[in-house]
């Protein structure tokens, strides 16, 4: 039996500034030395995105809770899902730390415990 995978997920408030959309992720842009000139943040676009018609929104927060569909923006993708890449720490404010335990598929339940900062 496999051991559960335990990770800490940080949920942050981020001042994105001007966003550059790319089919590449952190490894690509880190090797290039950061964001392209004139941009503050990179949005690494994934090949799968939520169906926006089924999301939940409240007080400027959008929670993607719909089914996952294929992204059609780029021909090829290096990522499965979207990620924001911010190279300036001053743009990030940590709001919550979530302790997540992912059990192997053979387990019947997934336990998630939250720790708030």
Residue the block writes with tokens 């900062």: 117
Q: Please list the alpha-helical segments (H only) found in 1-117.
A: 26-32
Evaluate whether residue 30 is within a structural domain: yes
CB 4 within 8 A of CB 54: no
Q: How many CA atoms does the CB half-sphere of 33 hold within 13 Å? A: 2
- The number of residues in the chain equals 117
Which tens digits make up the pLDDT trace of 23-32?
899 999 999 9
CATH classification at residue 54: 3.90.228.10
Which tens digits make up the pLDDT trace of 33-45?
999 999 999 999 8
More confident site: 17 or 60 = 17
**How deeply is 70 buried, as exposed, middle or buried, from its count of CB atoms within 10 A (0-12, 13-18, 19+)?**
exposed
Evaluate whether residue 49 is within a structural domain: yes
pLDDT band at 18 (very low <50, low <70, confident <90, very high): very high
- In whole angstroms, how far apart are CA 91 and each of 14, 42, 86? 6, 13, 7
Evaluate whether residue 106 is within a structural domain: no
């Amino acid at each position: 039996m496999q051991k559960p995978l335990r990770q800490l997920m940080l949920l942050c408030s981020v001042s994105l500034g001007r966003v550059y959309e790319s089919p590449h992720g952190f490894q690509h842009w880190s090797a290039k030395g950061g964001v392209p000139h004139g941009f503050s943040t990179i949005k690494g676009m994934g090949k799968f995105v939520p169906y926006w018609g089924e999301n939940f929104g409240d007080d400027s927060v959008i929670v993607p809770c719909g089914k996952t569909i294929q992204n059609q923006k780029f021909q090829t993708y290096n990522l499965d899902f979207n990620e924001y890449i911010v190279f300036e720490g001053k743009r990030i404010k940590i709001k919550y730390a979530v302790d997540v335990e992912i059990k192997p598929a053979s387990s019947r339940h997934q336990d998630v415990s939250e720790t708030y900062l």
